[in-house]
């Protein structure tokens, strides 16, 4: 059988032709728009030359992420209400907490409440600019000299905090023939980044005396330890008052992350800097925070069933035979595993939505597959859409999945593989 006839016989279509969803995957084939995958078959059987065939698999079996634009917009509104309409600097570090840097920023930028974006890696800042993001972008990390120049030329704001900043910014400002715009990063006890608060004032005098910087803001990060947070804020406020008293620039003051948005109203200041709350997850005390202001998960992890099989009594599944059927039981295999970011510990209590029913994850989550227990009747079929995390059921909310798996909700989201296809819905 030649290649064209083989592809057509397989029900895959030819040269990008659309395929009937029912023929492609069987039952339940309404895939999300944009989630289709493409593959290339290369024919080099003869030395006469090479031709390529584009085969479109629609809908896909491989896992994908759906980014819920309406949920993102709703969560921005919730944060705005919690902070009395303070401007929001959206933290989109670590691939926008797993949702996708460009996809997420593209939804957020048009919103009036969004004043700008914060990242920690120079490459992320440049990706935002390459994607057409025009609002302010703050780099909260450090950039070496050549990177810093490229960033400033793209209107990315730097963070000033290291002892060498006065000299480096002076050299950079001379090359650019303009002051370098950025924010002073104060370390009030986090001990991670920033200039230590107890020696920051003389350092700022030196920095300001160079006339090489335009201070657009001053910020800090909380440890999120309740009692020490107050001490940190007192240090920050004392520094700000001292700077103001001697006439040095402060710009906008910002300190509150998502945890601060919910629990530290005194730290809302001139602007807030949330991350995870914008994406529909609760930062530290989910039950309490849900009662204060409910959020909508803005990401959905999906796949399609690739195998349905009936186990006999005594049959097991996956590595370690951690699950052995005590009676005849149907199971379904999903092509999503820990390489995609789905936690190995999902077998400890996570469930998956297929159709309108939840099914428990069993056995072991391997690199590329997870298995769910269907029950005594085959109520699912190959091709059915499965949702492993999202807003479709309370059990699938990121915080609920994190609780069921013993994982941090931050890890759960940020470990979603960057290789997963992402589509805004």
User: Do 43 and 123 sit in the same domain of this protein?
Assistant: no
In sequence order, which residues have a C-beta less than 8 Å from that of residue 398 and are 6 or more positions away?
Answer: 279, 280, 281, 297, 299, 389, 409, 412, 413
Measured in whole angstroms, how far is the alpha carbon of residue 38 from the centre of its chain? 24
pLDDT bucket at 31, cuts 50 / 70 / 90: very low
Please compute the mean of the pLDDT values over residues 97-102 and round it to a whole number: 98
142 with 48, same domain?
A: no
Closest among 26, 24, 21, 27 to 7, alpha carbons compared? 24
Any idea which residues carry the catalytic annotation?
93, 319
Same domain, 111 and 259: yes
Same domain assignment for residues 155 and 14: no
Query: Quick one: average pLDDT of 311-330?
Result: 97
How many structural domains is the chain composed of? 3
28 pLDDT exceeds 70?
no
State how far Cα 127 lies from the chain centre: 15
Q: Which of 292, 323, 357 is the last residue of a domain?
A: 292
pLDDT at 235: 98
Name the nearest CA neighbour of 155 among 119, 177, 126.
126
Angle (CA) 141-144-149 rounded to 5° is 100
pTM of the model: 0.86
> 287 and 316 share a domain?
no
Average pLDDT over residues 53-80: 83
| Segment 321-333 mean pLDDT | 97
Question: Is pLDDT above 90 for 398?
Answer: yes
DSSP state for residue 270 in the 8-state scheme: T
Q: Are residues 127 and 72 in the same domain?
A: yes
Using one digit for the tens of pLDDT, what is the confidence trace for 191-220? 999 999 999 999 999 999 999 999 999 999
* Residues 221, 97 share a domain: yes
How high is the mean pLDDT of the chain? 89
Greatest alpha-carbon pair distance for the chain in Å reads: 84
281 and 402 fall within a common domain: no
Do 130 and 247 fall into the same domain? Answer: yes
Q: Domain of 113?
A: 66-292
How large a percentage of the chain has pLDDT more than 90? Answer: 85
Boundary residue ending a domain (263, 292, 321): 292
- Name the range with the highest mean pLDDT among 6-20, 23-37, 40-54, 344-358: 344-358
Do 288 and 304 have their domain in common?
A: no
**Pick from 292, 327, 355: which residue ends a domain?**
292
Query: Is the domain of 48 the same as that of 141?
Result: no
Predicted confidence (pLDDT) per residue in 275-297, tens digit: 999 999 999 999 999 999 999 99
- If one counts every other C-beta atom within 10 angstroms of the C-beta of residue 241, the result is 10
Q: How confident is the model at residue 319 (pLDDT cuts 50, 70, 90)?
A: very high
Residue 7 has pLDDT above 50, yes or no: no
Q: What is the CATH number of the domain that holds 325?
A: 2.40.37.10
What CATH number should be reported for the domain holding residue 179?
A: 3.20.20.10
Residues 312 and 231 grouped into a single domain = no
Statement: residue 41 has pLDDT above 60: no
């Amino acid at each position: 059988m030649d290649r064209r006839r083989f592809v057509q016989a397989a029900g895959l279509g030819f040269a990008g032709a659309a395929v009937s969803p029912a023929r492609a995957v069987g039952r339940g084939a309404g895939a999300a728009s944009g989630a289709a995958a493409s593959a290339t078959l290369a024919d080099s059987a003869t030395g006469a030359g090479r031709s390529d065939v584009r085969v479109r698999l629609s809908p896909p079996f491989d896992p994908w992420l759906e980014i819920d634009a309406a949920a993102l917009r709703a969560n921005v509104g919730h944060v705005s209400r919690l902070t009395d309409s303070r401007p929001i600097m959206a933290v989109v570090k670590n691939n926008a907490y797993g949702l996708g840097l460009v996809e997420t920023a593209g939804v957020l930028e048009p919103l009036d409440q969004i004043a700008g974006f914060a990242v920690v890696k120079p490459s992320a800042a440049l990706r935002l600019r390459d994607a057409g993001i025009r609002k302010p972008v703050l780099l909260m990390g450090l950039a070496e000299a050549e990177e810093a120049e490229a960033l400033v030329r793209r209107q990315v704001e730097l963070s000033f905090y290291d002892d060498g900043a006065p000299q480096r910014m002076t050299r950079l400002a001379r090359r650019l023939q303009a002051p370098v715009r950025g924010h002073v990063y104060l370390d009030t006890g986090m001990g991670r980044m920033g200039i230590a608060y107890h020696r920051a004032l003389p350092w700022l005098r030196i920095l300001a005396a160079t006339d090489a910087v335009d201070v657009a803001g001053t910020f800090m990060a909380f440890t999120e330890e309740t009692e020490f947070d107050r001490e940190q804020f007192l240090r920050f406020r004392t520094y700000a008052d001292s700077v103001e008293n001697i006439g040095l620039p402060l710009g906008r003051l910002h300190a509150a992350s998502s945890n601060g948005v919910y629990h530290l109203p005194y730290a809302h200041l001139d602007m807030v800097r949330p991350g995870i709350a914008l994406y529909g997850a609760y930062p530290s005390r989910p039950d309490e925070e849900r009662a204060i202001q409910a959020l909508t998960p803005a990401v959905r992890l999906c796949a399609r069933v690739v195998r349905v099989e009936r186990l006999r009594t005594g049959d097991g599944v996956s590595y370690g035979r951690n699950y052995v059927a005590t009676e005849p039981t149907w199971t379904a295999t999903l092509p999503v595993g820990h390489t995609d970011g789905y936690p190995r510990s999902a077998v400890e209590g996570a469930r998956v939505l297929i159709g309108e029913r939840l099914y428990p994850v069993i056995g072991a989550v391997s690199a590329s597959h997870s298995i769910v227990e269907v029950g005594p009747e085959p109520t699912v079929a190959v091709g059915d859409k499965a949702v492993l995390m999202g807003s479709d059921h309370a059990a699938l909310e990121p915080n609920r999945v994190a609780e069921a798996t013993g994982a941090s909700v931050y890890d759960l989201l940020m470990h979603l593989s960057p290789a997963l296809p992402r589509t805004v819905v």
